[in-house]
Structures are given as C-alpha cells and as structure tokens.
Amino acid sequence: MANPLLTAWHWLIESWHEINATRDPAAHAGRFEVGLVIVACLGLMTPQFLGSELTFVQTALGLGLAPDWEAVRLHPWGALGALWFWVAACVAGYFALPAIYLKLSGRGVLDFGLRPAGLTTHFGVYAALCVLVLMGVVGVSYLPDFQRIYPFYDFADRSWLDLLLWELAYAVQFFALEFFFRAFLLEGLRRTMGAGAILVMLMPYCMLHFPKTGVESAASVIAGLVLGVMAMRWRSIWGGVLIHTTVAVSMDLASLLQQGRLPPPTWVP
C-alpha cells in the first residue's frame, strides 16, 4: 500500500514541474508585473486600514447614523456591522482593485481562477482535504488560544441569525482572499515566474495569519503551498474557497461547542 504522504509529495513535485512548464523562458518582468505588485500592496493595505473598526465608527458618525462613538459600539448590531464593513474592505482590496487592474490591462478576469472546471473535475480531492482539515480543527478546538480567538464575532452565540450572518460574511471574505492570493498573484506572475510565484505569495499570506495563533501561522505555509499548487495546476480558486469556508465555519462551531456557547433554539435575538 502506497504511503499517502509520499504520494502527496510526488504529486507536489510533479505539479511544480508542470506549472513551471507554463512559464515563458523569454519573458521578463515588465509594466504589467510592476503594476500588479503595486496594486497588490494597495490591496493588502485596504482591509488593514480602511476596514478597521475606527474607520467604521468614523464612517457611521460621518453619515449621521449615530450621535457618538458609544452609540455605534453599543448598538445591538454594531459589532456585526463593523465586521461586515471589514469584509467590504476585503472585497474592495482583494477583489475589486485587482479585477479593475486586470480589465484595464486587457486581461480576462474569468481566466484568473474564476472558472469552475477546476473544482468540478477534482471535487473528490478537495472533499478529501476538507475531511483532513476538519480532523485538525477537532484537535485544536481544545486549545485555550483557539477558544479565545474564535469566533471573531463576539455575539455569534446570541442567535442563529447572528451566526448565519457572520458566517455568510466570512465566506464572502474568503472568496476575495482566494482570488487575491491564489489567482491575481499566481496567474499574474505565472508567465515570468512559473511556480516561483507560489513562493512570493506565501510570504504575505503567512503574515496575514500573525494576529491569529502560532499554530495557524505555521499551518498557513503548508496550506498556502498546497492550495497554491492546486490553483495554478487546475486554474481555479473555487476548491480553495470551499476548503477555507468549511474550515472557518467548523472552527467557529467547534469553539462555540467547546465553550458551551451554541446559540439558543431561537432564530432571532
């Protein structure tokens, strides 16, 4: 019987060579690549600064939606509003800005990982990975740091509506995240760097996990490598979106369950 880890390693090496074969040996970084890196930097900055709670409160006050800071923070839906505001900033920075740049550069946005064939053709592989990572989630759900951080939405246990609205926002954020890291950066640098684009992507992707746990930061390197190879080989981000969303929802549910904080049997608060 074949060793699963050895099989996976051989697959990664084979895929790496296959991806490198799509690189143009005569290509050099030009205006498109320079612009891509600049847009990527702006995209990373957008959720960090424009999606902050401070910006959310200032926006609410500027629009006259609340009389003062405390009114925004103490509003029953203030916390969820702040998280949806952050998700909107993620969509702007991770999807909208890159998509606009691609259109202005004459590239087809759909060709950057948005076609579903990669998921439908290899659904079994992604489903198996979902099962594998769910097993990991069960293990880390016992850690105090895990329970302290998840879920990000403090009122996720208030009602099932709260939990659903948060998980929906979380899923939208993961779509934008996957497009940015596994399509915009990887496909944008494929011609000049081949599989080397995955190494460029891994650094900011790992740093994005620093506010979380050390275990997740380390795991993001492995996950980023595997998802990057899969996205480049099969030219689709949808498998990554599926895995990320499955893991995120299960992490929140596992944390709530471990803390005895599952929402009461009511739909609304």
pLDDT tens digit string along 164-221? 999 999 999 999 999 999 999 999 999 999 999 999 999 999 999 998 888 889 989 9
Cα–Cα separations (whole angstroms), residue 169 to 5, 72, 106 = 34, 20, 31
Measure CA 61 to chain center.
30
Query: What is the dihedral sign for C-alpha 88, 222, 36, 53?
Result: positive
Q: To 10 degrees, what angle do helices 31-45 and 97-104 make? A: 160
Lowest mean pLDDT, pick from 40-44, 47-51, 60-64, 176-180: 60-64
- Let me know the angle formed at the C-alpha of 22 by 21 and 23, rounded to the nearest 5 degrees: 90
Whole-number pLDDT of residue 205: 97
Type and span of the H or E element at 69: helix 69-74
pLDDT in tens, 74-114: 889 999 999 999 999 999 999 999 999 999 999 999 999 99
* Contact yes or no for 264/162 (Cβ under 8 A): no
Whole-number pLDDT of residue 7: 87
pLDDT in tens, 119-158: 999 999 999 999 998 998 888 888 888 888 899 999 999 9
Distance CA 35, CA 55 (A): 27
pTM for this one?
0.94
User: DSSP string covering 135-164, please?
Assistant: HHHHHHTTSHHHHHH-SSSTTTTT-HHHHH
Domain ranges of the chain: 28-258
- The 3-state DSSP class for residue 220 equals helix
Cα–Cα separations (whole angstroms), residue 30 to 34, 141, 189, 197 = 6, 46, 11, 15
Whole-number pLDDT of residue 212: 83
Q: Is 210 exposed, middle or buried (0-12, 13-18, 19+ CB in 10 A)?
A: exposed
N-terminal to C-terminal alpha carbon distance within the chain? 53
